[in-house]
Amino acid sequence: MIRGRFAPSPTGALHLGNARTALLAWLHARAHGGAFIMRVEDLDSGRVRAGIMERQLDELRWLGLDWDEGPDVGGPHAPYIQSQRQERYDAALRRLAERGLLFECTCSRKDIAQAASAPHEGEEGPRYPGSCRDRLVDPSVPSLMAHGRADFALRVRVEPGAICFADGVMGDCCFDPAAETGDFVVRRKDGAAAYQLAVVVDDAAMGVTHVVRGADLLSSTARQILLCRALELPVPAFVHVPLMLGADGERLAKRHGAVSLGELREAGVPPERVSGWLAATCGLAAPGEEIAPAGLVARFGVARLSTAPTTVSEAHLVRLRGDGGPG
């Protein structure tokens, strides 16, 4: 059975781009008769805000989504909040250390940026130059991998070579993590597991078979496949859906107007209008059609999704907040 998930971070309001990804992930699971999991990714403790998790879940329910497992409904793979799953990440770090793949890194971002071999900075910062990669972690010293603040991060050694996969929307993709990011962080200096490690461990533990998420995470996929192989975990299928952009070409955000689910709800916009509007932006509904997510299940198909981002103008948002849909 297909098992999908949506994994928001409780750091702020759910904007329309988040909502559309959640809707598409839900539709993918429901259209295949599968289970849908809600997982909260709250490891970035400095940005997490009290009460946001509950608000996000309430707004997604208002939109018309439901889930079979999650922090508020429980399930066989609890807990569904990442900050409560640290022991699982520590165990994965031990496995990486036993394979000779884990090393301590004391480099700061400034050190990496100033390294002679570091290329110009890209979307995820400059490529790590390998300065500390010979400082392998001794797996017989558990304290080196235990949760807690330290003066070093832990990185995984990455060997050159392309990692290829077939994405459900983007088609055949290949990335070479060694060339693009180099050895990457799997545990931060504050002791928290890094995103790349946590998402791999949790998807495997929760039996996730299909990962539907935004195209901004496409380049992360090769690193996650690399970790799956190193940890001998199953590799899920990936479906990267296009982003929603504002008229300025930047990812849709508050600066583009009232585009959060909460603001639309408080303004009295019906949830069926919002879900219909979101569906219309990716060809699953007619412009202006008001329809609940349940009514979209029979229409859903990955082949209908475009690889190109969706540009949303202020006129589109005005129609959403008023009487019409996009178009």
Give the dihedral sign, CA 213/215/216/221.
positive
DSSP code of 69?
B
For every residue of 220-288, DSSP letters joined together read GHHHHHHHHHHTT-PPPEEEEEPPEEETTSSBP-GGGSS-BHHHHHHTT--HHHHHHHHHHTTTSS-TT
CB 288, CB 324: distance < 8 Å: yes
3-state SS assignment for residue 143 = helix
Chain centre to alpha carbon of residue 122: 19
**Which residues are annotated as catalytic?**
254
Distances (CA, A) of 259 to 19, 167, 272: 10, 29, 16
Distance from C-alpha of 112 to C-alpha of 119, rounded to nearest angstrom: 10
Distances (CA, A) of 37 to 63, 67, 210, 324: 16, 6, 11, 32
List helix spans (H) across the chain: 16-31, 52-63, 86-98, 109-114, 177-180, 195-205, 221-230, 261-266, 271-280, 314-321
Distance from C-alpha of 149 to C-alpha of 188, rounded to nearest angstrom: 8
The residue type of 212 is: V
**Cis, bond preceding 79 (omega within 30 deg of 0):** yes
